[in-house]
């Protein structure tokens, strides 16, 4: 999967992609053999029907993989990337070295230009990260690079990252979408405002965006690597699940995602499309805002955890797509704690905890969810199950962008959400979701704070030895589970409907759409 960039280079994938293993039901259309006597037709327009629009097109302000999938490795590129074996490989940087514990030096490619014709160089790298880290800009993603003290050009094509303290996962973060390099002219134009016309070095250039309707990208004919195989990509916003599927059947679209589990049988039996499935890094979960009553009492949160019968949810709501989770990261993520145990179904214990918290007669609460059928179905099952401990749960369904905004601002009690680990490293999960410094749009929408957890996460960031890093993350995950700011539901499985004439499409474990190698027969 991914795009092959120039002679001697490995196949590029989205920056967090790894070889998809362990998913026995995988039907990866990207590796389907085609008739060797039938030539692929390059060119044309690829139409992708999606549930939700991007909340914005500025990678320094994005809070979702859904939005980043439009720009990452299409418009924007980083200094490094992950290959299909999850190994860090060159991208805009030809090579790098760690000079000491806090200084990393990168030698840049000299044959790259931005879409507006501006040369890519060390100064462009500096301006990108200076904007990201500028407190006046107030990027919600600045926290990801909080360890960076200075980005310092050494010469035109050499740049150093000088850190405040040692940070072992630096390369994994640079390979993430927040590390995408922006044209200096675009930075000058927009400054601290959110970029409306993204401008990078990637194989596709931004053409237009009609919010709530569609985003169009066009092939970059001056791309420094091997060009993409389609001329244009249109991301169409199609909220209705059945409409997305019918668009493939009528030829109006080539890919529909996400694919609801309720219509998987229909797609599998269709002569015009296939089901794409692959295991993901991330998880879907129920979150609590621990600052808001009654969920500032961990006994209430634990009572709810014991009152949910998760096995029936995995089967009934998700049709066994994705396995039951025991934490907020998938088993393929570095630092995953396989010994972690989620709360068991125990109504007696749940009622006892409710009584201890002073809610023996029950309570009223509201759960927020985005407007997808599976999430709504999950919320309604939770509504039914929690009646067993006297909780009258109101389900509030919101448009995706409004849902994200409200949860990020802490205007929530309970919510259903997912976190697609973008790097394959536990730091991206732990720091963003649980560190005190990440409260709000950075990812910690629980508004959770535990000083010991903060210290463990900070220590793991500095630790070079992988075994010790895993031990630190394991301890942090045990504490988080005990504090119960969340209840894990399932490990995400990436699922899409793909027209049979489309080859070369895949979804990375992080959830990014891989389209650079797509052909349409």
Show me where the domains of the chain are located.
280-493
User: Nearest 5°: phi and psi at 31?
Assistant: -115, 10
Q: What is the pLDDT of residue 41?
A: 61
CATH architecture for segment(s) 280-493: Roll (3.10)
* Cα(331)–Cα(498) distance, integer angstroms: 26
Residue with tokens 């909340």: 55
Q: Please give the chain's pLDDT, 521 residues, in tens.
A: 333 333 333 333 333 333 323 333 333 333 333 333 334 468 999 999 999 999 999 999 997 889 999 999 999 999 999 876 677 899 999 999 999 999 999 999 999 999 999 999 999 999 999 999 999 999 988 988 989 999 999 999 999 999 999 999 999 999 989 999 999 999 999 999 999 999 999 999 999 999 999 999 999 999 999 999 999 999 999 999 899 999 999 999 999 999 988 888 899 999 999 999 988 888 999 999 999 999 999 999 999 999 999 999 999 999 889 999 999 998 889 999 999 999 999 999 999 999 999 999 999 999 999 998 899 999 999 999 999 999 999 999 999 889 999 999 999 999 999 998 888 899 999 999 999 999 999 899 999 999 999 999 999 999 989 999 999 999 999 999 999 999 999 999 999 999 999 999 999 888 889 999 999 98
Residue 173 and residue 365: Cα distance in Å, rounded?
Answer: 37
Asked if residue 111 lies in contact with residue 224, where contact means CB atoms within 8 angstroms, the answer is: yes
Which pLDDT value is given to residue 25? 32
* 3-class DSSP state of 67: helix
* Cis upstream peptide for 258 (omega within 30°): yes
- In whole angstroms, what is the distance from residue 254 CA to residue 235 CA? 11
Place of tokens 């749940």: 350
What does pTM read for this prediction?
0.76
Say how far apart CA 170 and CA 422 lie, in whole Å.
Answer: 13
């Amino acid at each position: 999967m991914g795009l092959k960039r120039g002679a001697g280079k490995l196949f590029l994938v989205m920056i967090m992609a790894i070889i998809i293993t362990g998913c026995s039901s995988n039907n990866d259309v990207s590796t389907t053999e085609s008739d060797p006597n039938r030539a692929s037709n390059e060119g044309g327009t690829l139409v992708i029907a999606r549930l939700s629009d991007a909340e914005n097109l500025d990678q320094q302000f994005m809070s979702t993989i859904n939005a980043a999938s439009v720009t990452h490795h299409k418009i924007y590129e980083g200094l490094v990337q992950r290959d299909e074996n999850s190994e860090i490989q060159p991208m805009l940087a030809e090579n790098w070295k760690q000079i000491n514990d806090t200084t990393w030096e990168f030698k840049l490619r000299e044959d790259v230009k931005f879409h507006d014709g501006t040369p890519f160089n060390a100064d462009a790298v500096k301006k990108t990260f200076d904007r990201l880290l500028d407190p006046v800009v107030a990027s919600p993603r600045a926290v990801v690079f909080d360890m960076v003290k200075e980005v310092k050009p050494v010469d035109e094509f050499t740049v150093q990252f000088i850190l405040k303290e040692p940070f072992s996962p630096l390369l994994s973060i640079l390979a993430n979408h927040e590390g995408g390099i922006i044209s200096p002219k675009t930075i000058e134009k927009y400054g601290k405002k959110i970029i409306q016309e993204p401008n990078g070095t990637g194989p596709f250039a931004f053409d237009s965006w009609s919010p709530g309707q569609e985003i169009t990208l066009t092939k970059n004919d001056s791309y420094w690597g091997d060009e993409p195989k389609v001329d244009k990509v249109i991301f169409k916003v199609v909220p209705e699940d059945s409409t997305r599927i019918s668009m493939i059947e009528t030829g109006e679209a080539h890919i529909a995602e996400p694919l609801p589990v309720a219509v998987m049988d229909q797609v599998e039996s269709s002569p015009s499309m296939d089901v794409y499935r692959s295991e993901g890094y991330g998880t879907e979960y129920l979150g609590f805002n621990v600052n808001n009553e009654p969920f500032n009492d961990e006994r209430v949160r634990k009572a709810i955890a014991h009152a949910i019968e998760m096995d029936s949810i995995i089967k009934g709501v998700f049709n066994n797509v994705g396995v039951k989770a025991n934490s907020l990261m998938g088993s393929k993520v570095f630092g995953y704690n396989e010994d972690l145990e989620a709360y068991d179904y125990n109504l007696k214990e749940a009622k006892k905890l409710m009584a201890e918290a002073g809610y023996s007669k029950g309570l009223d609460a509201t759960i927020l969810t985005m407007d997808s059928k599976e999430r709504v179905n999950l919320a309604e099952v939770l509504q039914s199950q929690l009646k067993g401990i006297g909780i009258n749960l109101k389900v509030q369904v919101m448009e995706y962008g409004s849902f994200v905004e409200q949860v990020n601002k802490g205007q929530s009690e309970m919510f259903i959400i997912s976190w697609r680990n973008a790097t394959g490293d536990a730091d991206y999960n732990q720091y963003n979701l649980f560190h005190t410094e990440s409260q709000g749009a950075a990812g910690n929408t629980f508004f959770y704070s535990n000083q010991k957890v903060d210290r463990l996460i900070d220590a793991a960031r500095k630790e070079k030895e992988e075994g010790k890093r895993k031990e630190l993350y394991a301890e942090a995950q045990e504490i988080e589970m005990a504090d119960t700011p969340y209840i894990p539901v399932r490990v995400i499985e990436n699922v899409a409907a793909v027209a049979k004439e489309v080859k070369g499409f895949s979804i990375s474990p992080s959830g990014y759409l891989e389209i650079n190698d797509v052909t349409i027969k």
